[in-house]
Amino acid sequence: MRTRVELIDGFKLDPASRNLCVFGKKVRLRNKEFVLMEYFFLNMGIVLSRTQILEDVWDRNICWSTNTVDVHVSSLRRKIRRFSRMLKIKTVHCVGYVFELR
């Protein structure tokens, strides 16, 4: 079990409690949103294709569409935006996404 906490300028992702805190405020995430957020934290600044995200975050035994990634990213963006505009999940046209701190 992972117990480390990722800390990025006011943002804390704690795999042990499965919480995301933005400047001390808890952001409620569904299970898959948390796993996706953790994946973005671990790959900050790296352009990730939708296929790569699907392969690394979702169950490989089930056939998922890349639209699944888009829907979850959209939900994460909305939730994060309520608390801060510093964290960005940017779309990289025709490729995928990159997670950045601005």
* Topology (CATH) of 30-101: Arc Repressor Mutant, subunit A (1.10.10)
* Tens-binned pLDDT, residue by residue, of the chain (102 aa): 455 566 777 788 888 888 888 888 888 899 999 999 999 988 999 999 999 999 999 977 677 777 889 999 999 999 988 888 888 899 999 999 999 987
Rounded to two decimals, the pTM is 0.85
How far from each other are the two terminal CA atoms of the chain, in whole angstroms? 31
Q: Which helix (H) or strand (E) holds 20?
A: strand 19-22
Taking Cα atoms as reference points, which of 91, 69, 58 lies closest to residue 100?
Answer: 91
* Residue 24, pLDDT score: 85
Domain ranges of the chain: 30-101
